[in-house]
């Protein structure tokens, strides 16, 4: 993977943390809430996103983790050592 250098500063942008299962930061946020027993509507309120977006994220999480349902996805989340925290500073 090539490293992008910002030519006017000589600096490289911060590297995104690596999340398990090739999940994105947002999907990890959704997975944490699923593991906490939250439903789609509760997740929409917590993350201020649409219910269809949550449903899509949950489907992607199930596919990427090999889980058949939310309970298995929660079990996957709990087996990670631990899933790296999601920083509010990441955009």
Sign of CA dihedral 17, 60, 27, 91: positive
* C-alpha–C-alpha distance, residues 10 and 74, integer Å: 42
2 versus 52: the higher-pLDDT residue is: 52
Number of Cβ within 10 Å of residue 44's Cβ equals 18
Instruction: Read off the pLDDT of residues 7-21 as tens digits, 9 standing for 90 and up.
Output: 555 555 566 667 888
Nearest to 57 by CA among 10, 23, 89, 9: 23
Instruction: Read off the pLDDT of residues 26-84 as tens digits, 9 standing for 90 and up.
Output: 999 999 999 999 999 999 999 999 999 999 999 999 999 999 999 999 999 988 865 65
- Residue 1 confidence (pLDDT) above 70: no
Q: Are 40 and 54 in contact (CB under 8 A)?
A: yes
């Amino acid at each position: 993977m090539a490293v992008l250098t910002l030519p006017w500063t000589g600096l490289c942008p911060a590297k995104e943390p690596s999340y398990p299962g090739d999940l994105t930061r947002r999907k990890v946020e959704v997975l944490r809430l699923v593991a906490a027993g939250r439903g789609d509507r509760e997740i929409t309120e917590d993350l201020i996103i649409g219910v269809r977006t949550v449903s899509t994220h949950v489907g992607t999480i199930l596919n990427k983790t090999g889980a058949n349902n939310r309970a298995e996805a929660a079990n996957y989340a709990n087996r990670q050592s631990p899933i790296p925290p999601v920083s509010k500073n990441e955009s």
